[in-house]
Chains A and B, each alone.
Chain A
Amino acid sequence: MKDSPKTRTEAGKPPGNAPDPAGAVFAEPWEARAFALALTLSNGGRFSWDEFRDRLIAEIAKADAAANREVRAAPASPGGPYYECWLEALEKILREKGLLNAEEIERRAAAIAASPPARTKARSRGPIKIA
């Protein structure tokens, strides 16, 4: 614990008093997916919540230390680095429990990145008949 209070949070706001935008529980859609993945896997008994929490605490401690050294890159979310830590903890526990391996995660991420979103299916081709 530092004696000198930090004057800004990771989100660049004054500490403590910035209200969240109304109703915005998650700042980004991926945060919601990452949250729900961890919760549903834990609910299903794939790992205990404490096991996940231990890894989350470790990632947060790492992020705090990096922020104190000011070496950390800007967080990917306006909500701050918290869900990046969450995602890191989730990937770790998935690998450690043997549910997914690092290679298949990389492969799938690369495949998704390489495939453009399939828009054509959703695009209307116009009326099938005009009478």
Chain B
Amino acid sequence: MSAHDHDHDHNAPDSGPTLRVKALEALLVEKGLVDPNVLDALIDAYEHKIGPRNGARVVARAWTDPAYKARLLADATAAIEEIGLAAGPQGEHLVALENTPTVHNMVVCTLCSCYPWPVLGLPPVWYKSAAYRSRAVSDPRGVLREFGVELPPGVELRVWDSSAELRYMVLPMRPPGTEHLGADELAALVTRDSMIGTAVVTYPAESRPAK
């Protein structure tokens, strides 16, 4: 607590987090503990390469390949590696949760921000907010409603708490009317939120071929 207080005691114009991080980085680079090029590469990867398009590929493959889907549900870590995604940090113990007509799954990290980085990238701001972390537990159907998802009363809602040991991703239901679509077209329909469980995948009328 004392260290925390200290950091916020002095309110000089330049005492913000930008300055703190610059100081840490400069010192760590000087001591040879970090390489600034590695920092740049990591930031670039998480800003541009590792994101929900990875998870969308996994979902589309599972929708089009029943054997792959079975492997995904049995061992998601192995299944994402199979299609060339590195499990890496925050993906070592990945679990895929299948949505069905009777079960809807939704993922939260009640304590911090645990999230399946290899398939979804870094979490959105709302996932890390105190409001979501508490209300996903106290009023999950209300949270879903705010996301525009009205769950029929007969559908069981399961809320899963991500942890250091287990990271969850949701395998959403394939929307009706998509039987003719290939894996790439299907992947384009899959949203980040649908893989967190705060949205369902839809096939909008305007993207359907004219009859």
In the complex, the answer to whether B39 meets A91 with C-beta atoms within 8 Å is no
Given known pairs A16-B147, A28-B18, A80-B125, the reply for A40 and B34 (CB within 8 Å) is: yes
Tell me whether A32 and B47 are in contact in the complex, defined as CB-CB below 8 angstroms, given that A15-B131, A57-B112 are known contacts: yes
**B208 at the A/B interface (Cβ < 8 Å)?**
no
B47 touches A20 (CB 8 A): no
Residues of B near A27 (CB, < 8 A) are 125
CB neighbours (8 Å) of A23 from chain B are 47
A contact face: mostly helix, strand, loop, or mixed: helix
Most buried by B among A26, A50, A108: A108
Does A126 lie at the interface of the complex (its beta carbon under 8 Å from any beta carbon of B)? Answer: no
With contacts A109-B23, A112-B22 taken as known, whether A84 is within 8 angstroms of B17 at the C-beta atoms is yes
Chain A, 109-128, contact with B by CB distance < 8 Å: what is the 0/1 string? 10011000000000000000
Render A1-38 as a binary contact track against B, CB cut-off 8 A, 1 for contact.
11101101111011111111001011111111111110
Docked Cα-Cα span, A102 to B139, in Å, equals 42
Expressed in whole angstroms, the minimum distance between the Cβ of A72 and any Cβ of chain B is 10
Asked if B164 contacts A49 (CB within 8 A), the reply is: yes
Bound-state CA distance A11–B92 (Å) is 31
Q: How large is the interface on B (under 10, 10 to 19, 20 to 34, 35 or more residues)?
A: 35 or more
User: Is the C-beta of B103 less than 8 angstroms from some C-beta in chain A?
Assistant: no
Q: Is the CB of B3 within 8 A of A25?
A: no
- Cβ of A41 and Cβ of B112 under 8 Å apart? no
Q: Mark B125-164, 1 if CB is under 8 A from A, else 0.
A: 1101111101101110011001110000000000000001
Please name 18 further chain A to chain B contacts, defined as beta carbons within 8 Å, in addition to the given A53-B164, A102-B6, sorted by A numbering. Answer: A1-B134, A2-B138, A9-B129, A10-B129, A15-B129, A15-B132, A16-B198, A30-B17, A40-B35, A44-B33, A49-B89, A53-B114, A67-B130, A82-B129, A88-B7, A92-B3, A109-B19, A113-B12
